[in-house]
Amino acid sequence: MSRTKSEIAMKKVFALLLWVTPLWAMSQNKLTVSVVGVPASIGNVSAGVYNSEVGFLKIDHVIAGKFVQAVRGTTRIELDNLPNGTYAVAIFYDENGNEKLDTNFLGIPKEKVAFSNAKMKTFGPPGFDECSFKVIGDQEMKISF
């Protein structure tokens, strides 16, 4: 059975679309977070990215994270390879550099904490929905202590 040139061309275009569409849908983005109000250039600033209410603020549910050297005033953290989606970011100032959030005997943080789009509440941290935002391309945000 003989195929016309237009049928062959159409199949090539269709094959190309099938190959390119998943790559476009899984595009990877860079989130740059400027953490404002860092009190000193000692220790680290930590960022954890979450994509669900389930496990929000649990270390084993962080989908992307980074510790960077603290810079007094504003510390920038770049988080690469985030697919399009809904995320929430939690930040803490790890003054002593032990790479964990130090808390008192009640579980209240002794180190500064901050969140994307929300503040710490009187009786605990905000929820994922309060902190969440959409990523559909490279973007920058400011989070203040």
Mean pLDDT of 123-140: 94
SS3 state of residue 62: coil
Task: Show the domains of the chain with their CATH numbers.
Answer: 29-144 (2.60.40)
Tokens 């180190």, residue? 111
Residue 126 pLDDT = 95
Residue 3 pLDDT = 62
Task: Give the distance from CA 52 to its chain's centroid.
Answer: 12
Task: Give the distance from CA 111 to its chain's centroid.
Answer: 20
Segment (H or E) for 9: helix 5-25
**Residue 48 DSSP class:** E
Tens of pLDDT, residue by residue over 86-99, are 999 999 999 999 99
Evaluate if residue 13 carries a pLDDT over 60.
Answer: no
Segment (H or E) for 6: helix 5-25
pTM over 0.75? The answer is yes
Tens of pLDDT, residue by residue over 29-41, are 999 999 999 999 9
**Which backbone phi and psi does 28 adopt, to 5 degrees?**
-100, 140
